[in-house]
């Protein structure tokens, strides 16, 4: 990230969220405290809460169970493989889960690539906005989440509760 990075923090039920964007407002990351390889504010970054108003409003609505799909412009930089994995994450519906193997199959990767898929998911720079928390182990277990398993559990519980209410 360069000195052209703008940032803001947003309070949430899973802790403070650090959002970064380019000067035009395209979101480049969403991190949480203690996140593996998460972003932290750097010297030269510009604190610019107004740039993140739409993101903050949508995150508040998401945590209230009122928003199922984010409508924000996102940009991430990764290898072609990571970009394919991240695009597959974007197709996992609110309130649903998928497995690492299913993500591998969606992008046409072999079963042998499941570990690499897990690595790409773990490198997702846009937690919550790009729903890597919806990926679970093949046996249904909650495995790995860069933001911590407690946060993953809270996000999945929120979505399941909201989705259940939507269909009752």
Which pLDDT score is estimated for 144? 84
Strand partners, 126: 30
Residue, of 155 and 3, whose pLDDT is higher: 155
Render pLDDT for 25-83 as a digit per residue (tens, 0 to 9). 999 999 999 898 889 999 999 999 999 999 999 999 999 999 999 999 999 999 999 99
Q: What angle do CA 66, 71, 74 make, to 5 degrees?
A: 135
Reported pTM: 0.90
Q: For this structure, is 127 an active site residue?
A: no
- Is the pLDDT at 163 greater than 70? The verdict is no
In whole angstroms, what separates CA 70 from the centre of its chain? 11
Mean pLDDT taken over the chain = 92
Q: How much is the pLDDT for 3? A: 66
Average pLDDT over residues 88-108: 95
Indicate the domain borders of the chain: 6-63, 80-167
Annotation: CATH topology of 6-63: Double Stranded RNA Binding Domain (3.30.160)
Catalytic residue among 132, 135, 136, 155: 132
The whole-number average pLDDT for the span 123-149 is 93
Q: CATH for 80-167?
A: 1.10.10.10
């Amino acid at each position: 990230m360069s000195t052209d990075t703008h940032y803001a923090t947003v309070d949430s039920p899973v802790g403070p969220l650090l959002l970064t964007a380019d000067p035009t407002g395209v979101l480049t990351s969403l991190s949480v405290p203690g996140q593996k390889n998460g972003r932290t504010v750097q010297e030269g970054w510009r604190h610019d809460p107004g740039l993140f108003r739409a993101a903050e409003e949508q995150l508040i609505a998401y945590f209230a169970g009122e928003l199922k799909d984010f409508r924000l412009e996102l940009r991430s930089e990764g290898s072609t493989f990571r970009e394919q994995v991240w695009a597959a994450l974007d197709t996992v519906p609110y309130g649903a889960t998928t497995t690492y193997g299913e993500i591998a199959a969606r992008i046409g990767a072999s079963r042998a690539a499941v570990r690499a898929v897990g690595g790409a998911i773990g490198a997702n720079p846009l937690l919550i906005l790009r729903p890597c928390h919806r990926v679970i182990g093949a046996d249904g277990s909650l495995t790995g989440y860069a933001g911590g398993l407690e946060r993953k559990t809270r996000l999945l519980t929120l979505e399941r509760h909201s989705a259940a209410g939507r269909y009752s």
